[in-house]
Amino acid sequence: MHDGRSLIKTGVFEALLVWMCVFGLLVVTGCQKENGKQNGNRLGRTVDLQIGDRMRIATINTDKGNIVIELFEAEAPKTVANFIKLAEKGFYNGLTFHRVVPDFMIQGGCPKGTGTGGPGYTFADEPSALKLRHSDPGTLSMANSGPDTNGSQFFITHVPCPWLDGKHAVFGKVVDAASQKVVNKIAQGDVIHSVTIGER
């Protein structure tokens, strides 16, 4: 038989055990909520980054149709910023593709239409842009007259042009076959009606 003292001890022990279980459950639940909140914050930041991580697109409207180009802002930020600035000012509107070499490239962006004009300034090559390759048709790159002479003139390739690597700053690429077909149809003297900048 249990005496009263042992019953009291047993009751106290059981009460203590129940209290510890309840307290432990509360602590675990609180930690889960806090972790969920922290994870939610991390997920929120990730989603925000994904939503904000859009491609900057240039659409060149020409006599032959639209050429849609992805601009490489991460790899060539200064070169892309210069192109966007000129496009948004309407600098390219009405200029021509003054130089077209079949099975090589089309070149535009000269206000004189001779290949000797520019925006009134030059800027240096970006090392990161020079590391990009002319490995595909539809590569958008800066025309120049030597190192660090970038301005407004650009070209788009018909074919891979590895001999240009390291000499011209790549800053974009045609996004689809339809746009590349337009590039391939461009003839010397065709007009650039506008260049508009957007996101995709």
Q: Which of 123, 144, 184, 193 is catalytic?
A: 144
Based on the residue annotation, tell me whether 107 is a catalytic residue of this protein: yes
176 DSSP 8-state letter: S
> 5 catalytic, yes or no?
no
Please give the structure tokens belonging to residue 126: 């970006």
171 assigned to active site: no
Q: Name the active-site residue from 82, 83, 107, 158.
A: 107
Catalytic residue among 61, 86, 91, 104: 104
The question of whether 140 is a catalytic residue gets the answer no
50 part of the active site: no
| Integer Cα distance of 130 and 137 in angstroms | 17
| Contacts by residues 9-15 (CB-CB < 8 Å, ≥ 24 positions apart) | none
Give catalytic status of residue 23 as yes or no.
no
- Per DSSP, the three-state class of 159 is coil
Question: Which of the residues 86, 123, 164, 193 is marked catalytic?
Answer: 164
Give the DSSP per-residue string, 99-116: EEETTTEEEE--TTSSS-
From the list 56, 99, 134, 158, the catalytic residue is 99
Active site residue 155: yes
- Active centre residues (catalytic): 99, 104, 107, 144, 155, 164, 168
